[in-house]
Homo-oligomer: A and B are copies of this chain.
Amino acid sequence: MELTNKLKQLIEEIEKLPSIGPKTAERIALYLLSQDEREFNALINSIVEARKNLHLCPICFNLTDREVCEICSNPDRDSSIICVVEEVDDLLAIEKTGVYKGVYHVLHGDIDPINHRGPENIKLKELLERVNSLSVKEVILATNPDFNGDITATYIAKLIKSVRMNLRITRIAVGLPKEAEIGFADTVTLSTAIKERKEYR
């Protein structure tokens, strides 16, 4: 059977969503068509409402429905430490750990030399402006521990050093994940874990 155009088009649109393969897209499309009116409207409304109400925080570029986001406007957060992440979901993941009490800066991307995405395509100018304030004492670079993330972190570190030489700049630790078995670890992670080994104190 040739799929009707409307259905084919819907499946193609759903396939553009992140982490969605063709089979899942098909299943979601058929599910959307079979939902009752109330459930369907609840989904569509919450998408449209979220689009309408959420915007980027003018300080850290986190998503928020307030003028300034929950973290930047929270007096209990330490605004002298800025954790730099690539995307909002990285921020959410770090927040879930509950161990970090500083503030954030969301770059909304990374430097990707292969795809010609440069420093001007991420929120880097804005980070430099924040770092220029003397109240900032540390910048934690929490970009992904992959090729682009490493390049982005190195680039940002150099740039900040050129503006405020003595500012503390750190990078999140890379190594074996907790509960990992060494025999099953991939070579890159394992060799990094060896190189980044720490002294017993």
Contact = CB atoms under 8 A, between A and B. Distances in A.
- Which has the most chain B C-beta neighbours within 10 Å: A6, A43, A62, A95? A6
A44 B47 contact: yes
A159 interface: no
Nearest to A104: B1
Secondary structure class of chain A's binding surface, majority of residues: helix
A33 B46 contact: no
B95 A46 contact: no
A68 interface: no
A59 to B, nearest CB: 14
A125 B9 CA distance: 33
Contact of A4 (B31, B65, B95): B65
B4 A64 contact: yes
* Size category, A interface: 35 or more
A26 interface: yes
A195 interface: no
Nearest to A25: B19
A13 interface: yes
A7 interface: yes
Across the A-B interface, give the 4 residue pairs with the lowest CB-CB distance, nearest first.
A10-B50, A1-B95, A13-B46, A19-B24
B71 A6 contact: no
Interface stretch (A84-92, A172-180, A183-191): A84-92
A102 B39 CA distance: 35
A194 interface: no
Interface string A108-119: 100000000000
A2 B32 contact: no
